Structure 1
Amino acid sequence: MELYELLEQVVGVFDRLAIPYFVTGSVASMSYGEPRLTNDIDLVAGVRLEHVAGLLAAFPPDAYYVSEDAIRDAIRHQTQFNVIHPQSGLKVDVMVRKDTPFDRSRFARARSLRPTDSYTAFFASPEDVIIKKMEYYREGGSDKHLRDITGMLKISGYEIDSVYISEWAERLGLQDIWTAIQQRLKQAP
């Protein structure tokens, strides 16, 4: 199984179960920027307790690893659980939607994209992907997030709302990172 095949299966399940979601992380940044290697898919989803049985049925244990306890715990604590396809080594990190102003904004701004010719899926806006990547950079310091952001701004910069990013960067305490990214772009050849 390939990454976008797994995404198609997961999106189909979430659509059938009427679970609101959007793709974020590196898969989303590649959609707006430059390709890179990844073996996981990040989704933010409005998973609730009434979805647990349907999720477990949709991902049978002979093909997937999904923990009922992990799903329930993620819902209770608004954290994440995984859908793992052991045969391919691919996984989906499902982050349970939080009731925060930023998550409400991200869901309102999600857009439908066509990752392959066979299906469409909801993706976080490029601005929201950039904001989350700045948060991840602040938390872990990994340059891959800065590379992803820079790639997105190089490829899709003309359609990215930098005012929106600046406003959220200020609200979330990310102004220094956003300023440094903009300076880095100005200095790039």
Structure 2
Amino acid sequence: MGPFELLQKIVEILERLRIPYLVTGSVAAMAYGESRLTNDIDIIADIKEEHIPGLLNAFPIQEFYISEEMIRNAIRYRGQFNIIHPASGLKVDVIVKKNTPFDECRFKRIHRIYPAETYQANFSSPEDVMIKKMEFYKEGASEKHLRDITGILKISGDIIDIDYITQWADRLDLREIWNAVLRRVKE
């Protein structure tokens, strides 16, 4: 199973269970920017307690690792849990949607795109992917996040709402990082 096949399976399950979701992280960054290797898929989902049985039934233990306890904790603490496909080494990080102004906003800005020819999925907007990448950079200073952001700007720059990003950069105390990214793209 490849990453886009796993993503298709996850999307089909979330949509069948009527769980609002967004594909984000490196997979979304690649959809709007430059390709790179990744073994994980990041999804933000508005998972509730009533979704747990459906999720557990959809991912058979013979093929996937998924923990009911981790799902319950992720819901309780607005954290994350993993769905792992050991045969391929692929991992899905499912991050439970938070009740923050940013999460509320990005769920209203869904982009429905084709990650592969055979299906559509809900993706975080390119601007929201970049804002989260700046947050992750601020937390851990990993260069890959800045590379993803500059890749999105290089490939999709003509559709990017710079004012939107600037407003959120100010609200989330990311302006210094955002200014550095803009300088980097101009070089």
Specify the alignment match of 2:42 in structure 1. 42
The alignment status of 1:170 with 2:170, answered yes or no, reads yes
The gaps in structure 2 that reach 5 residues or longer are none
Q: Note the 1:149-164 alignment, pairs <5 A.
A: 149-164=149-164
Q: Note the 1:1-189 alignment, pairs <5 A.
A: 1-187=1-187
| Partner amino acid, structure 2, of 1:122 | N
3-state secondary structure, aligned to 1:182: helix
| Partner amino acid, structure 1, of 2:4 | Y
Post-superposition offset of 1:172: 0.1
Figure out how many residues of one structure are paired with residues of the other and give that number: 187
3-state secondary structure, aligned to 1:51: helix
- Distance in 2, Cα, partners of 1:60 & 1:49: 19
Post-superposition offset of 1:82: 0.4
3-state secondary structure, aligned to 1:106: helix
| Partner amino acid, structure 1, of 2:38 | T
Alpha-carbon deviations, 1:13-48, whole Å to 9, x = none?
Answer: 000000000100000000000000000000000000
Post-superposition offset of 1:141: 0.4
| Partner amino acid, structure 2, of 1:156 | S
- Distance in 2, Cα, partners of 1:100 & 1:112: 22
3-state secondary structure, aligned to 1:64: coil
The gaps in structure 1 that reach 5 residues or longer are none
Alpha-carbon deviations, 1:37-76, whole Å to 9, x = none?
Answer: 0000000000000000000000010000000000000000
| Partner amino acid, structure 1, of 2:179 | T
3-state secondary structure, aligned to 1:36: coil
3-state secondary structure, aligned to 2:122: strand
- Distance in 2, Cα, partners of 1:31 & 1:75: 28
3-state secondary structure, aligned to 1:156: helix
RMSD over aligned Cα atoms:
0.4
- Distance in 2, Cα, partners of 1:185 & 1:54: 44
- Distance in 2, Cα, partners of 1:120 & 1:11: 8
Q: Matched residues, percent identical?
A: 59
| Partner amino acid, structure 2, of 1:14 | L
How does the TM-score come out when normalised to structure 2? 1.00
3-state secondary structure, aligned to 1:88: coil
3-state secondary structure, aligned to 1:120: strand
